[in-house]
Amino acid sequence: MKNPYIPYEVKIEEAWYETPGDRCIKTFKVTFADEKVWDDWSHLPGQCAMVGIPGVGESMFCISSSPTEKGYLRFSIMKMGKNTSALHELEAGDSFYVRGPLGNNFPLEEWKGKNVITIGGGIGQAPLRPVIQWIRDNRDDFGELTVIYGARTSADHCFKPEFEDLGSCGDACCHLAVDVEEEGWPHFVGFVPTLLMEVSPSPENAIAVTCGPPIMIKFVLENLEKLGFAPEQVYTTLENRMKCGIGKCGRCNVGHLYVCKDGPVFSYSQLKEIPEAFA
């Protein structure tokens, strides 16, 4: 068995900023330095990886590309601390290191034939992107796809060109929001949970997936309940400080669950049993 602490080197093919500011988000499109790694690599939407630079550190990020996008991986990384700042310094042609895939995935096999609603906020769209992409690439397996996404301002929206494409090609119904009024913004103004009520998707034969800041998730979950979604129909991801990513170092637990190993994807019915889940 491969040593799970040893990362693979990846080369950056392309890198671009999604959003500006102190906590800017940069997306990296990478491929393994050693092509043979692809033979052993397989991941599913929702899974994560430890990304880092030897000498700086490692942090957990979701793989924001779908396995249906062949030949590369994508990570969208918000600048937060030591490691993310160092990663932001890197450009096309540079390399960094990746260890994974880690954690569980969204059960897309089980969702076949259902309508899927994704509800994202800010960088929380990163784990939802592979879900959307997977559905687009297996379009006939799923019912309607509704994408709800918001950020503070339009400049803070990740993956902008993709949303435009998504709305116009008819693969999905897109609903975008900004928190505060801004000139020329044609879509919804307000918070994501409110937009969700506005869109008011039917719970029938549906699955709702939500990722974003904890406070948004809290209200989205409440509103989904109001809309008649049962806890088993609702999925989210949890975020905790992580180190090993493989259920050893102990720190990522919520109750008896290791978020790195048993998660990051959980159904709301699972989390309802765990008092610490939304701490």
Q: What is the DSSP letter of 21?
A: S
* Look-up of token digits 């509800």: 119
In the region spanning residues 21 to 40, those forming contacts with other proteins, defined by CB under 8 A, are 33
Of 194, 239, 195, nearest to 213 by C-alpha is 239
For ligand FAD, what does the binding mask look like between residues 105 and 144, x meaning CB under 6 A?
A: ------------------x--x------------------
Which chain residues interact with ligand FES by CB under 6 A?
242-245, 247-252, 258, 260
* Look-up of token digits 């493989």: 246
Residue with Cβ nearer other proteins (62 or 117): 62
Residue with Cβ nearer other proteins (122 or 150): 122
Could you tell me the smallest distance in angstroms from the CB atom of residue 258 to ligand FES? 5
Of 35, 97, 100, nearest to 62 by C-alpha is 100
Tokens coding 66: 């779908």
Q: What is the DSSP letter of 254?
A: E
Q: Helix 214-226 to helix 192-199 angle, to the nearest 10 degrees?
A: 20
- For residue 158, state whether it binds ligand FAD (rule: CB under 6 A): no
For ligand FAD, what does the binding mask look like between residues 193 and 232, x meaning CB under 6 A?
A: ----------------------------------------
Instruction: Residue count of the chain, please give it.
Output: 279
Of 204, 196, 255, nearest to 229 by C-alpha is 204
Amino acid at 104: N
Q: Contact residues for other proteins (CB under 8 A)? A: 1, 3-7, 9, 33, 54-59, 80-82, 84, 95, 97, 214, 239-241, 243-244, 246-251, 253-256, 261, 275-276, 279
Q: Contact residues for ligand FAD (CB under 6 A)? A: 48, 57-62, 64, 76-78, 80-84, 123, 126, 239-243, 264
